[in-house]
Amino acid sequence: MAGDLDYLKKQGDSLFTTRHNLLNLWQTLADNFYPERADFTTVRSLGEEFASGLMTSYPLLTRRDLGNSFGSMLRPTSKEWFKVVTDNYEKIGADAKAWLEWATRLQKRAMYDKRAMMVRATSEGDQDFATFGQCAISVEMNMREMCLLYRCWHLRDVAWAEDEVGQVGTLYRKWKPTAISLQRTFGKDNIHPKVAEAIKNKQPLKEFNVWHCLIPVDHYDGTDKNGKPFTTPFVSIYFDRTNNHEIECVGAHGIDYILPRWQTVSGSQYAYSPATVAALPDARLIQSMTRVLLEAGEKAVDPPMVAVQDMIRSDISIYAGGITWVDADYDERLGDVLRPISQNTTGIPLGVDMSQGVMRMIREAFYLDKLALPPPDARMTAYEVGHRVQEYIRQALPLFEPMEMEYNGRLCDLTFDVLQRYHAFGSPHDKPKELINTDVQFQFESPLREATERAKGQRFIESKEMLAHALDIDPGAKYVLDVNVALRDVFEGIGVPFKWTRSTEEAQALSAAEQQSMQAQDQLAQMTEGAKAAKLISEASRGQQQAAPVAVQ
């Protein structure tokens, strides 16, 4: 086992060492955009002032706005922002769809349980994603509370490698828990005696250097607690590096971390933020410009003074109400003994305009000009509205697509797997037969999807208009468009709950019943009209007979 730990140490040290220069880049990005996180290559002390070297907070505000928009637009708590579905969702029956809706509600309650701390972890992760193009969030079960547990980890402490298909296949994380945390997490029998000794000596907050490793099973020679080879694809190892002690070694079904990566480049397992990469030169420029403008404004308001040597008999008092004493023998015809240096302030407005231009560039780099949906305009035609929506989709796609697939998708997938692993959805045999051995997928609500579905509804309206024109030419064109299928597609797109609508069979039965009722009413009306006609004929015939003259014998 010691040899295996040596292997883990060497592999982990290699991963952390090879990305040393990347930490310098992350430190630079944090200094300019996220000073609260600027401790990649330096150690911050508690109470140290953040952003003390910056002249303007505008780059920080744009990063904050972009990071906050991820949660507010892609994970809004006020609506059902995800839905559990399958790849053949349109073909499954009502029972299967009802089970999927139930599973969606259960998973959302588990994720937003206050003990799970998902909101805290994703809020931290959103800011890391906006600044560095990636974040590291673990999803696990809190066995003490029997609930989910989400934690966002500092990118400085996490290193990973890709496998042969480009997925994260190996992960190492540094951790410095206290002695009491180790004992509560892993139990007294699994920790090193020195950890237990620290607790016994009333040092429960003493920290230890612990690593968490998630590696493929074929990279590790160890066995489970029963001495048998692991049957899972991965192995999860916690080991106390300070004491060279293995704390826990269990099988893992996958990498229980989500590592959403925004913009990747070939040859590197680490991603980049296109926002900060584009905005970094402008962020440096606006800091320098702000410093120059502040200095120019200060000189314009409080200019430097020129004084005649040996003629000033007191301290120079340039504050309000101050008095400066001058030698009485000085000849004022030679000029004022104390006078300001003339300043040329004509360049300040130009500098302000240039600074505002740089601010606009930073705002564009952080996609803040592309987050809002196109405003509606009643004067626009349906074609123009659809075109503007499509233009918005093209502009917002680079921002929302990685978030949906890499971030929200992996977050929901891993959460579902953890809940299913601990039987939160009940026995697998309780599922409807259509869902057994079927992989679930997730459908997300986002401005991008909203715009896409709005375009689908707009196409439905356009189809109606086209159909109205076609009916003027050929009345048989009304059979071309299947209105029921199109309407269900639009309803599903705009998020109408399944329980609000009737099944296809129920709708067809109601439609058939209505047609039968209408036919019966038509027959009854025809019979009524026929009876009325017969009565009128009978009355007319009787009237004619009574009006006829009687023959004389």
Which pLDDT tens digit goes with each residue over 64-92?
999 998 888 888 887 788 889 888 887 88
What pLDDT is recorded for position 87?
82
- The angle at the Cα of 365, spanning 23 to 151, to the nearest 5 degrees, equals 45
Q: Which long-range contacts (CB under 8 A, 24 or more apart) does 369-372 make?
A: 370/395, 370/396, 370/399, 371/69, 371/73, 371/396, 371/399, 371/447
Q: Which one has a higher pLDDT value, 28 or 78? A: 28
pLDDT per residue over 331-349, tens digit each?
777 777 777 777 777 788 8
Q: How far is CA 126 from CA 119, 256, 315, 403, in A?
A: 10, 18, 56, 10
* Percent of the chain clearing pLDDT 70 (strictly above): 85
What pLDDT is recorded for position 2?
39
pLDDT value at 45 more than 60: yes
Tokens, residue 312: 């000033």
Nearest one of 398, 371, 419, 440 to 71, comparing CA atoms: 371
pLDDT per residue over 7-20, tens digit each?
899 999 999 999 99
Amino acid found at 369: D
Lowest-confidence segment of 2-6, 34-38, 100-104 by average pLDDT: 2-6
Q: Which residue has the tokens 């009854």?
A: 524
**Computed over its alpha carbons, how large is the radius of gyration of the chain?**
37
DSSP 8-state code for residue 232: S
What pLDDT is recorded for position 552?
46
What pLDDT is recorded for position 106?
94
Q: How far apart are CA 441 and CA 82, in angstroms?
A: 10
Tokens, residue 213: 């490793």
What pLDDT is recorded for position 61?
95
pLDDT value at 93 more than 70: yes
Q: Which one has a higher pLDDT value, 282 or 6? A: 282
Length of the chain: 553
**Mean pLDDT confidence for 206-216:** 94
**Domain ranges (residues) in the chain:** 2-41+53-275
CB 40 within 8 A of CB 26: yes
pLDDT value at 390 more than 70: no
Lowest-confidence segment of 218-232, 243-257, 459-473, 535-549 by average pLDDT: 535-549
Q: Which one has a higher pLDDT value, 539 or 362? A: 362
* Percent of the chain clearing pLDDT 90 (strictly above): 39
What pLDDT is recorded for position 140?
92
Tokens, residue 542: 């009787």
pLDDT value at 375 more than 80: no
SS3 533: helix
pLDDT band, very low/low/confident/very high, at 31 (cuts 50, 70, 90)? very high
DSSP assignment of 345-374: -THHHHHHHHHHHHHHHHHHHTTTTSSSPP
HEC string of 472-515? HHCHHHHHCCCHHHHHHHHHHHCCCCHHHCCCHHHHHHHHHHHH
DSSP 8-state code for residue 48: P
Output the average pLDDT for the chain.
Answer: 83
Q: Which long-range contacts (CB under 8 A, 24 or more apart) does 401-404 make?
A: 401/448, 402/260, 402/261, 402/262, 402/263, 403/70, 403/74, 403/129, 403/260, 403/446, 404/74, 404/444, 404/446, 404/448, 404/449
Helix axes 58-74, 20-33, angle to 10 degrees: 100
pLDDT band, very low/low/confident/very high, at 288 (cuts 50, 70, 90)? very high
Nearest one of 68, 104, 165, 157 to 371, comparing CA atoms: 68
Strand ranges, E, within 390-456: 440-444
Which of 310-314, 387-391, 408-412 has the highest average model confidence (pLDDT)? Answer: 408-412
- Work out the number of other CB atoms within 10 angstroms of the CB of residue 107: 21
Amino acid found at 425: F
Q: How far apart are CA 367 and CA 364, in angstroms?
A: 5
Helix axes 274-301, 58-74, angle to 10 degrees: 140
pLDDT per residue over 295-328, tens digit each?
888 877 777 777 777 777 677 777 777 777 777 7
CB 27 within 8 A of CB 40: yes
Q: How far apart are CA 20 and CA 133, in angstroms?
A: 17
Beta bridge partner(s), residue 544: none
**Mean pLDDT confidence for 524-533:** 72
What pLDDT is recorded for position 102?
92
Q: Which residue has the tokens 């990469």?
A: 277
**Mean pLDDT confidence for 495-522:** 72
SS3 401: helix
pLDDT band, very low/low/confident/very high, at 283 (cuts 50, 70, 90)? very high
pLDDT band, very low/low/confident/very high, at 3 (cuts 50, 70, 90)? very low
pLDDT per residue over 121-136, tens digit each?
999 999 999 999 999 9
What pLDDT is recorded for position 282?
95
Which of 185-199, 333-347, 519-533 has the highest average model confidence (pLDDT)? Answer: 185-199
CB 155 within 8 A of CB 128: yes
Q: In terms of C-beta density within 10 A (0-12 exposed, 13-18 middle, 19 or more buried), how is residue 394 classed?
A: exposed
DSSP 8-state code for residue 176: -
What pLDDT is recorded for position 124?
96
Q: How far is CA 91 from CA 96, 97, 105, 434, 507, in A?
A: 10, 10, 22, 10, 16
**Mean pLDDT confidence for 85-104:** 86
